[in-house]
Amino acid sequence: MKTHRFAAPILALAAVLPSPSDQAAAQDAYRAPPPDVVGILDAAPFPQAVVSPSGDWMILAHGESMPGIEDLAAPMLRLAGRRISPVTNGMHAAPPFVRFSVVDLDGGNTRDVTGAEDGLGPPLWSPSGGSFAFTRTTNDGVALWLADPETGAARAVTDPSLNGARGEPCSWMPDGGSLLCHFVPDDRGAAPEPAAIPFGPVIQESGGEAAPSWTFQDLLEDAHDEALFDYYLTSQPAIVDAATGTTRPIGAPAVYESLEPSPSGEYFLSVRTVRPYSYLVPDSRFAKEVEVLGGDGAPLRTLATLPLDEGGPEHLGFRRAGLRQFSWRPGVSATLAYVEALDGGNPSGDVPQRIPSGSDVVVPVELKSSGGRIPAVRFPLNGDSQV
């Protein structure tokens, strides 16, 4: 019988190759560099200092130099420019701080904050400076905590049901006795599963004109991504009593880009993200509904409806046409300011007024209760007001 001359070497090679089980057993663990290098890389960064509004206390927020491999390997969803943890319903990256300490600026004494370590969000002083709030993220979710600077004791105010996918989920109300927080809706149910059979193709249309293209990352790709975006970004706003932890829902669940109380606490400035969504830009450029809500969260006035902004052939350097960048005016009970591009967003347009920043002008809008209505007063540059 004729034997192929390559048969013997092949059989010999097969005899010395380890089996899959042997390969797994022989896998090396992660190798560490020399201790001197480890000491340099693991050296704790300088803590961040946050002084209280009263000037009596200073928080030192201590962090770590590098995240652990368990944080980097955790599940992550890339949705409309955001990176979300499906485990915690917060941002994928672990919160930056591992512990807090408080410095008495009068006496110079420093005490550690006890009761909460690891996964700590930025500290938020109450308006009076008598306490500070922060979030703590664990595998169970994101919870609101409160700390007393005099004793250094911290306690949980809510269970781990906050929605931190959009960023820090809580902020102090002007009264200093409560916080506005975003929660995961109670009746949300299970996360949407991808369809076994696609409902149809993903279609993108071109206008046939040459145009510069943005290079955003982590964008939506299909209908399942849209469903996941709605699922993880939809939140229920509520007022949380800092002393008791009781909650009072405000308005309806929605995908809120922001929700800010007025300085008087009577109204809320709501910016909601609405459909249609885009596969070309992040959610900051999705369509928006800008509204003023009452103290109970009921809509009182629509300020602007901003369309989806995917740019165009000449979009680089352009501003969004219409009203944008609404904000409460500090020190006034209920006055809004917004920015309007006088040239319609086109910087090459010829307009009567030009200001140093380009073509924008800030316009105040007064809000006053009047028989259940909120009249908006606009003050154009010529000084004549219009209701």
- Provide the pLDDT confidence category of residue 355 given band limits of 50, 70 and 90: low
The CB-based long-range contact list for 140-144 (8 Å cut-off, 24+ gap) reads 140/88, 141/88, 141/89, 141/90, 141/184, 142/88, 142/89, 142/90, 142/169, 144/169, 144/170, 144/179, 144/181, 144/240
374 has pLDDT over 50:
no
* pLDDT value of residue 289: 96
199 has pLDDT over 80:
no
Average pLDDT over residues 166-173: 96
Tokens encoding 159: 């269970």
* pLDDT value of residue 173: 97
Contacts of 139 (CB under 8 A, 6+ apart): 87, 88
Asked if 339 and 323 count as a contact pair (C-beta separation under 8 A), the reply is yes
How far is Cα 96 from Cα 168, in angstroms, rounded to an integer? 12
| Of 135, 132, 138, residue with least CA distance to 49 | 132
- Provide the pLDDT confidence category of residue 384 given band limits of 50, 70 and 90: very low
Regarding predicted confidence, which is higher, 13 or 66? Answer: 66
133 has pLDDT over 60:
yes
- Provide the pLDDT confidence category of residue 96 given band limits of 50, 70 and 90: confident
382 has pLDDT over 50:
no
24 has pLDDT over 70:
no
Helix (H) / strand (E) containing 23: helix 20-25
For the chain, the average pLDDT equals: 84
* Model pLDDT for residues 245-281, shown as the tens digit of each residue: 999 999 999 999 999 999 999 999 999 999 999 999 9
Average pLDDT over residues 287-301: 95
* pLDDT value of residue 51: 97
CA 260 to centroid of chain Cα atoms? 14
